[in-house]
Amino acid sequence: MSVVERRQSLAEQVTLLDLVDRVLNKGVVVTGDITLSVADVDLVYVGLRLLLASAATLEREAAG
Amino acid sequence: MIHLYAFVRGLRQVEPGLEARPLESLEVVTGAEQTDPLQHGLVVERLLDQADAVLPVRFGERFRTEDDLAAAIAPRLEALEHQLDHVAGCVEVGVRIVPRREAAHADDGAAYMRARLREQLSTDELHRALAAKARDSVQTNRDVGYLVPRADIGAFSVAVERLLESHPALDVLCTGPWAPYSFAAAA
């Protein structure tokens, strides 16, 4: 397998965690409180929206 | 509610909907209530092009009033300033090294352990080589975040490419450049 092919197969392994890890698990914490719900929307649901958005973004990038 | 995005230095422009307020030697970037983590992430990534130093804040930090915000930041100001100094001019490049599971095909336990050891050694060697080209690095499981000065991104990419070619038994996933989330610790 060429380097390019290896890279492409790996790009598919970029998961929700890659994105969520940064925004939800990393970064400066000021209050120390974890916001379990945002605007009365459960964070699990917010995460699902993130998954859909990021999958679409990845597809778009793969196509472009 | 005031939503906190990041601490920055040398902010050149403030996009509509955001506010930047100076606090000692840094600036605090805030906006109206934000419920979408993806939008939070995108705002922070854009700041990377608009400021000299960006310290991302984890999604979900929100404050009722400006006084609450100022009071929460005050005791952490010194630590935040140190962290901003550290990441100034840098971006984060994520590198995940995945062995090609040679170990999975081992005939017996000893062969399995030897294969795992070989995988670990070449992974360590690779990360050491990359760490030498970065200002700092932080490991989380298989992922290592490298803090790379903007000017060195080209050289860093070339280094990743070379290592990929010289280690055919390893898959290397490189992501970024990101805002330096892994170097923005809890203050």
- Find the DSSP H helices in chain A: 3-11, 16-20, 43-63
CB contact under 8 A, A24 and B161: no
Does the model's pTM come out above 0.80?
Answer: no
CB contact under 8 A, A19 and B41: yes
Q: For the segment A29-51, what is each residue's pLDDT rounded down to a tens digit?
A: 777 554 445 555 544 444 444 44
State chain A's maximal CA–CA distance in angstroms: 48
| Interface with chain B: mutation pick from A26, A34, A37, A41, highest number of B CBs within 10 Å | A26
Q: Indicate the range of B9-13, B51-55, B72-76 predicted with least confidence.
A: B72-76
| Interface with chain B: mutation pick from A6, A16, A30, highest number of B CBs within 10 Å | A30
CATH 3.30.70 domain locations along chain B: 90-183
Q: Which residues pair with A38 in a beta bridge?
A: A41
Whether B172 contacts A10, CB under 8 Å:
yes
Cα within 13 Å of Cα(B69), Cβ side: 23
CB contact under 8 A, A50 and B37: yes
Q: Spell out which residues of chain B touch residue A6, defining contact as CB-CB under 8 Å.
A: 164, 171
Q: For the segment B17-65, what is each residue's pLDDT rounded down to a tens digit?
A: 999 999 888 999 999 988 888 888 889 989 999 999 999 998 888 899 9
Q: Is B90-183 a CATH 3.30.70 domain?
A: yes
3-state secondary structure chain B: CEEEEEEEECCCCCCCCEEEEEECCEEEEEEECCCCHHHHHHHHHHHHHHCCEEEEECCCCEECCHHHHHHHHHHHHHHHHHHHHHHCCEEEEEEEEEECCHHHHCCCHHHHHHHHHHHHHHHHHHHHHHHCCCCEEEEECCEEEEEEEHHHHHHHHHHHHHHHHHCCCEEEEEEEEECCHHHCCCC
ipTM of the complex in this document: 0.73
Kindly state the average pLDDT of the residues A2-12.
54
Whether B86 contacts B33, CB under 8 Å:
no
Q: For the segment B98-144, what is each residue's pLDDT rounded down to a tens digit?
A: 777 666 677 888 888 888 888 888 888 889 989 999 999 998 777 89
B-chain residue closest to A42, CA distance: B35
Average pLDDT score, chain A: 56
- pLDDT value at residue A15: 47
